[in-house]
Amino acid sequence: MTNDMRLGTERTDSFHPSGVPMESTVCGQQELHNLLDVLRPYGTARNPVGVTDIKQADSSPAITNIIIAGPCSVESEDQIIATAQALAQVPEVKMLRGGIWKPRTRPDAFEGRGEQGLVWLREAKLATGLPIATEVATPEHVELALKYEVDALWIGARTVVNPFSVQQLADALRGTDIPVFIKNPVSPDLNLWMGAFERFQKAGLTRLAAIHRGFAYYKETPYRNYPMWEIPIELTRRLNVPLITDVSHICGNRELLQATAQKALDLATDGLMIECHINPDAALTDAKQQITPDELKVLLSNLTFRSKQSCNVERDLAGLRGEIDDIDSELLQLLARRMEVSAQIGEYKKRNNVTVVQMDRWKKILADHVATGEEMGLSPILINKVFEAIHQASIERQGRIMENEEDSH
């Protein structure tokens, strides 16, 4: 598919980056509107996001598999124009991203080109017909992004953690209905993510989508940001919004991109955000995770796009499996705690010369558990087996304490 087919084109007088007037293609307003319209959440003004209806399978096939690509940061005119032109040759790419204001961990790092970058980003849009998206973190960013006709905005993970900032952005956007993509907060806090949606929704914005970019995690992982897939799945279960997966910020390196993008598609993501740079190794930010437009082509051609129906099954199962994992981990912690208390009882019995097995007490406890379990719909066989095993392990531990082989710590 050519770019013309993708968005439709109009001839306008425009200026080439070099300053030489040229005939360029820009997307026709109607086509652009249609494209962005697919980002409208399944909810409507009467039935907005925030309601708990579950997204219908295949309710909006048009939104499936939107690819947003572009550099982490807009660095120079040549860089963004060359990247955009190469991406415009990839039919699946529907939108060009480019960071203008970069939230950096350390103060002396490259913090983006600011307003000058918007001039170049808009040139890239005029040159290719691709709609453009950028990150906004302050009302001033919003004002400038709107001035330079940015087509969609995203709110970064570091901004979504701060309800004051989110509210300021929502207020700044009141009266517009530009698509806003809300990234998950850095911390795995579903309510905080949902709260951001509610703030924009209350400000009257209806074209909201979620971007999953992974979460800061305390353990070593191969990912830059741990995906915790169950969180975006639960978000889309609670809020009727499309989900885009930013595989670049989840992975943090090129090697994991392919498998992670496939996983996202298997879980019924509605689109992918992938950082692309004409010369990734020379990128001023996030060099390790960016790929060339040619590499993007290969990545996309190796993906299996599944039917929404079967993806929904996977997504539902992944959500439920995540819940099982959480419950199992709670069970393990509870068992460890129980064993610790039981060991303290062992110490007490030893000090006071009491026998380990207090059979009458145990029989009563087990009978109570079986009765309570039955009220909860659990079979007596299961309760007997589980608690006999737990009891047995406790007795063995207390026995070892009695024999001075172990203490409770």
Single-letter amino acid, residue 274: I
Please give the Cα distance from 259 to 122 (Å, whole number). 33
Please give the Cα distance from 263 to 275 (Å, whole number). 17
**Element spanning 335, H or E:** helix 308-352
* 270: partner contacted, choices Mn ion, ligand PEP, none (Cβ within 5-8 A by kind): none
Q: Is 135 in the site for Mn ion (CB under 5 A)?
A: no
Phi, psi dihedrals of residue 401, rounded to the nearest 5°: -65, -45
Stretch that binds Mn ion, among 250-258, 286-294, 347-355, 399-407 (CB under 5 A): 286-294
Residues near ligand PEP (CB under 6 A), total: 11
Residues 95-114: x where in contact with ligand PEP by CB under 6 A, - otherwise, as a string = ----x---x-----------
Please give the Cα distance from 121 to 112 (Å, whole number). 12
Among residues 130, 157, 169, 244, the one that binds ligand PEP under rule CB under 6 A: 157
Please give the Cα distance from 409 to 211 (Å, whole number). 45
Cβ neighbours for 258, distance < 8 A, ≥ 6 positions apart: 299, 302, 303
The interface with ligand PEP within residues 19-78 (CB under 6 A) comprises: 72
Stretch that binds Mn ion, among 33-41, 50-58, 70-78, 376-384 (CB under 5 A): 70-78
Whether 70 and 275 have beta carbons less than 8 Å apart is answered as yes
Q: Is 286 in the site for Mn ion (CB under 5 A)?
A: yes
Q: Is 156 in the site for ligand PEP (CB under 6 A)?
A: yes
Among residues 125, 183, 207, 315, the one that binds ligand PEP under rule CB under 6 A: 183
Q: Is 247 in the site for Mn ion (CB under 5 A)?
A: no
> Least distance to ligand PEP from the beta carbon of 319, Å?
22
> Least distance to ligand PEP from the beta carbon of 104, Å?
9
Cβ neighbours for 120, distance < 8 A, ≥ 6 positions apart: 17, 74, 76, 77, 80, 81, 113
Q: Which residues bind Mn ion (CB under 5 A)?
A: 72, 286
Q: Which residues bind ligand PEP (CB under 6 A)?
A: 72, 99, 103, 135, 156-158, 183, 213, 246, 249
